[in-house]
Structure 1
Amino acid sequence: MTLTAPQPGPNARRNWAYLLITIAATLPWIILAHTSQHNGHFSLSHILIAVLSGIAILAAAFLLSWGAEVAQLDMSQSLALVILSLIAILPEYAVSMAFAGDAGKGLLASQHAQTALLPQTREMLRHADLTVANMTGANRILIGVAWSVVVFIYYWRTQQRSITIETSRAIEIKFLLLATLYSFTLPLKAALFGIGLHWCDAIMLVGLFGFYTRAAAKTEQVEPELIGPPTVIAALSPLLRRLTCLVLFSGAAWTIYLAAHPFANALVHVGKRYHINEFLLVQWIAPLASEMPEFIVAGLFAWRGFPAMGMGALISSKVNQWTLLVGLLPIFYGFAARQMVPLPLDTQQSCEVFLTSAQSLFAVAVLSNFTINLKEAWGLLTLFILQGLSQFLLNMLLPNNLHTAMLTQSSELFFAIVYLALAAIVLMDSPDRRSMIIDMLRGKGNAHAARDVIS
């Protein structure tokens, strides 16, 4: 169904100017990406790369947010946010798949080596650890930082202490719950049977994402509240409007693809200059950089008075990363290795996945009443900072120490237990939250059940 488009309003010229200026802001980096790159390297300083690529990512985020708002005239908001989240986290896909592919190539090279392994092969084998580190870091940053920041931005703008999420978000929360419960099996089978991320996991998780997308496409279409540049796009004829949205989405995707990896690399090089541990750089700095587009998009929605849409975009991104992204890792690893082998999960990586699963379960418990308030946002951010700080300090104070890995794993297990305990407390304290979770597990977690919870 196509909704009636609004009129462009009295500020049409100004809104067209904003749109054109934003598009123009992406051009310097796009031009440089095609002219200043030699053999995959840029002949520019890391600071200049970070600035120019960062501006391009910011502009692309604006274009994405505007395109998603207008797209609601032709599809459900849930489906529009699925498309937005897929594009916004393209950088994270690129980084994670690159690590998984390198790890697979390293495995293949090691199996064909006639003598001692070359340093390059050893480095590629280490990328199996970095693959999981990058994936878990990205997932935890999304909940621990991005969800909280949206609440803080909305509070700063309006003094409202909570955000109420539309009941249509029950679909996202349901699939996030299902993916989270399944994710607990990953470290369990790694610990019991020594099996890492398997192709069976890929089938399950990618399948979950497929069912989620199908369910999102069937949700009820609502009239969007458009302000600023989206109003002039929406006022175009249906054909021109759809073509413009397609151009905005594809242009933003191309810009993010060109800018995100150099932006992340520039930040990592700065970190290495100050002798920051590579594992920490890959787990925190690189994901923070690659997640920047979706952070900006969600923040823009909150700043412009659409916090529920900002949270919806982030929840959709979390479902996306926790299903499709994780599911694709063993596929890329296996293809690169030219054999159907699981992506290995050692004790350290199993602890990382378990901690990420525990945080996700706590996040589902928080959202089970379809609100997130300032206190809950501070809780998510504080726990994230404390866990990250403990890991950072252990690696800084005890570099290359035999006890560092054991202490890090103990720290991660401690915070995982804290997350699980808090999730239990939140659910035990509210019968409505418990009933909503149970309904979701029974396949009844829909908008009608959600309305009963928040009414």
Structure 2
Amino acid sequence: MAHESPATAAPPPGTAEVPSAPPPSGPVTALRLAVAAAGALPAVVLRLAGIHPAPVPAMLLFGLGVLSAALLLMWAAETARADISGPLALALLAFIAVLPEYAVDLWFAYTAGTRPEYAAYAAANMTGANRLLVGIGWPLVALAGYFAARRRGAAPGITLREHRRIDTAFLGAAALVAFVMPATRQISWALSVVLIAWYAYYLFRISRCSETDEEELLGVPARLALLPARRRQAVTVLVFVAAAAVVFACAEPFATSLVDAGSSLGIDRFLLVQWLAPLASEAPELIVAVVFAWRLRGDDGLGALLSSKVNQWSLLIGCLPLAHLLGGGPASLPLVERQVDEVLLTAAQTVLAVVLLLDLRFQPWKAGLLFVLFVAQFALPGESARLVLSGVYLGLAVPLLAVRLRELPPTVRALAGRIAGDPH
């Protein structure tokens, strides 16, 4: 049999489709990988040399390292989809893509074991990442999908496939359980066990779904997917290991510099940790999701962000008390007044987001609603604004749920039973 070149070989088994647009050439792919690696290099050199720059330069350099590592992780995760199929793969790879978020957040929780003031930053980073994902990420995907649909004369709005009910159902249940945190003013070890077990059950449940995510690979992953299987897998593992090492090397100095830079710049340190760190760690994933929506693959883009939201709102929260315990603190992570309000607001936003997705349709008005409410938190003055917004989120969720009650039975069945079209 004649040897096939990578450019003409049959696509490897898995979830990835052959890209409709030509992937970048080999040299271009190598250049993009090199540029991403170069972005992480200064942070790695500083870390290995034990050099501690001033807070603001350190924040920028280590933040660039986290951003570069997050981009490499995203490329590795997307390439791996050429060899791993099914919704379970999407859930696992969504987890890989947000490892930078975990590293920074868990470091704050770990440090809070001996320095209790750092507990506030663990809550800040967690709530900021979750609200950014829904308030900015989901609307960006919808916006890209809207303009793509107009360009091609298609109907606006994103329609999710039936198996997304699993993600929606698990996220909704986790959102309801999350109200225990502001009610008890802590993230307890008992809640930690429940949420980690819930995420494990989510992986089990989604692994039994027979639907596949035939996602078209883009850019660097599209090129890497054309490599022979063993070489592709070796490159994927190498990129993942290198990026993960950068993430864990940069997590501590980046987190510390964020706190110190707040003091140097006269900016509220809580806000800096809450919004800047998640922007760095979430940016590559958001970009990929938006590109999918631009190519009229809104289900794939929004589905990836939905899966990320599930793991952050269950596994990430569940791991925080464990990191706190390992750092020398008690088994529960305490929440002070501001953190209580932040967690309450994040849980309320999640409830509304789940209600909006019950019918598996994400129209432009839904995206606009989530975006406007997200931006409103920066316009409303005073500490009471978070409580007011929490009430607005929940107040809107009630009537919207009332007109979607028929969507509840199939969504609840997705937790333990079958979904439509699934033979299992």
TM over 0.5: yes
2:244 to 253, 278, 282: 253
**Structure 1 residues 340-355: aligned runs within 5 Å:** 340-355=330-345
- Tell me, yes or no, if the aligned pair for 1:167 and 1:370 is still in contact at 8 Å: yes
- Tell me, yes or no, if the aligned pair for 2:18 and 2:217 is still in contact at 8 Å: no
1:36 maps to 46
Are residues 26 and 438 of structure 1, via their aligned partners in 2, closer, same or farther at CA, if it must alter by over 3 Å?
Answer: closer
Cα distance, 1:257 vs. partner?
4.4
1:309 maps to 300
Bigger mean CA deviation after superposition, 149-158 or 421-430: 149-158
1:183 maps to 178
- Tell me, yes or no, if the aligned pair for 1:95 and 1:261 is still in contact at 8 Å: yes
Q: Does 1:76 align with 2:85?
A: yes
Q: Matched residues in 1 for 2:344 and 2:61: separation?
A: 36
Q: Matched residues in 1 for 2:300 and 2:55: separation?
A: 37
2:167 maps to 172
- Tell me, yes or no, if the aligned pair for 1:128 and 1:343 is still in contact at 8 Å: yes
Q: Does 1:95 align with 2:68?
A: no
Cα distance, 1:356 vs. partner?
1.2
Cα distance, 1:18 vs. partner?
2.9
Q: Matched residues in 1 for 2:135 and 2:156: separation?
A: 18
1:381 maps to 371
- Tell me, yes or no, if the aligned pair for 2:161 and 2:299 is still in contact at 8 Å: yes
Cα distance, 1:325 vs. partner?
0.8
Q: Matched residues in 1 for 2:144 and 2:78: separation?
A: 19
Q: Does 1:358 align with 2:338?
A: no
- Tell me, yes or no, if the aligned pair for 2:59 and 2:261 is still in contact at 8 Å: no
Cα distance, 1:327 vs. partner?
0.6
- Tell me, yes or no, if the aligned pair for 1:73 and 1:224 is still in contact at 8 Å: no
1:56-109: CA deviation from partner (whole Å, max 9, x where unpaired): 66665555455444433432342332233222222221222122122211xxxx
**Structure 1 residues 85-124: aligned runs within 5 Å:** 85-105=94-114, 124=115
Bigger share in helix: 1
Q: Matched residues in 1 for 2:16 and 2:269: separation?
A: 50
Q: Matched residues in 2 for 1:19 and 1:282: separation?
A: 33
Q: Matched residues in 2 for 1:142 and 1:373: separation?
A: 17
Q: Matched residues in 2 for 1:133 and 1:232: separation?
A: 38
Cα distance, 1:169 vs. partner?
1.7
Are residues 47 and 337 of structure 1, via their aligned partners in 2, closer, same or farther at CA, if it must alter by over 3 Å?
Answer: closer
Q: Which amino acid aligns with 2:367?
A: A
Q: Matched residues in 2 for 1:288 and 1:10: separation?
A: 29
Cα distance, 1:319 vs. partner?
0.8
Q: Which amino acid aligns with 2:119?
A: A
Q: Which amino acid aligns with 1:247?
A: L
Give the SS at the match of 1:166.
coil
- Tell me, yes or no, if the aligned pair for 1:70 and 1:230 is still in contact at 8 Å: yes
1:225-255: CA deviation from partner (whole Å, max 9, x where unpaired): 3455444433333333333333343344344
Q: Matched residues in 2 for 1:418 and 1:331: separation?
A: 33
Q: Does 1:319 align with 2:317?
A: no
**Structure 1 residues 31-430: aligned runs within 5 Å:** 31-37=41-47, 41-43=51-53, 46=56, 50=60, 54=64, 63-105=72-114, 124-159=115-150, 161-190=156-185, 196-220=186-210, 221-226=212-217, 228-258=219-249, 272-337=263-328, 340-390=330-380, 393-394=381-382, 408=383, 410-430=384-404
Are residues 149 and 356 of structure 1, via their aligned partners in 2, closer, same or farther at CA, if it must alter by over 3 Å?
Answer: same
Give the SS at the match of 1:379.
helix
Cα distance, 1:205 vs. partner?
0.7
- Tell me, yes or no, if the aligned pair for 1:101 and 1:333 is still in contact at 8 Å: yes
TM-score by length of 1: 0.78
Q: Aligned Cα RMSD in Å? A: 3.3
1:357-396: CA deviation from partner (whole Å, max 9, x where unpaired): 1111111111111121211111111101112332xx43xx
2:7 maps to none
Q: Does 1:17 align with 2:12?
A: no
- Tell me, yes or no, if the aligned pair for 2:355 and 2:400 is still in contact at 8 Å: yes
2:8 maps to none
Are residues 68 and 284 of structure 1, via their aligned partners in 2, closer, same or farther at CA, if it must alter by over 3 Å?
Answer: closer
Q: Matched residues in 2 for 1:69 and 1:228: separation?
A: 10
Are residues 261 and 372 of structure 1, via their aligned partners in 2, closer, same or farther at CA, if it must alter by over 3 Å?
Answer: farther
Q: Matched residues in 2 for 1:157 and 1:174: separation?
A: 29
1:297-348: CA deviation from partner (whole Å, max 9, x where unpaired): 323333444322221111111111111111111111122226x432112333
Bigger mean CA deviation after superposition, 45-54 or 147-156: 45-54
Are residues 321 and 145 of structure 1, via their aligned partners in 2, closer, same or farther at CA, if it must alter by over 3 Å?
Answer: same
The unaligned stretches of length 5 or more in structure 1 are 106-123, 191-195, 395-407, 450-455
Q: Number of paired residues?
A: 406
Are residues 168 and 254 of structure 1, via their aligned partners in 2, closer, same or farther at CA, if it must alter by over 3 Å?
Answer: farther
Bigger mean CA deviation after superposition, 329-338 or 302-311: 302-311
Q: Matched residues in 2 for 1:346 and 1:36: separation?
A: 35
Give the SS at the match of 1:167.
coil
Are residues 311 and 102 of structure 1, via their aligned partners in 2, closer, same or farther at CA, if it must alter by over 3 Å?
Answer: same
Are residues 261 and 295 of structure 1, via their aligned partners in 2, closer, same or farther at CA, if it must alter by over 3 Å?
Answer: farther
**Residue identity (%):** 35
Give the SS at the match of 1:104.
coil
Give the SS at the match of 1:337.
coil
Bigger mean CA deviation after superposition, 83-92 or 374-383: 83-92
Are residues 200 and 270 of structure 1, via their aligned partners in 2, closer, same or farther at CA, if it must alter by over 3 Å?
Answer: closer
Q: Matched residues in 2 for 1:59 and 1:200: separation?
A: 36
- Tell me, yes or no, if the aligned pair for 1:149 and 1:299 is still in contact at 8 Å: yes
Q: Which amino acid aligns with 2:343?
A: V
Q: Which amino acid aligns with 1:181?
A: L
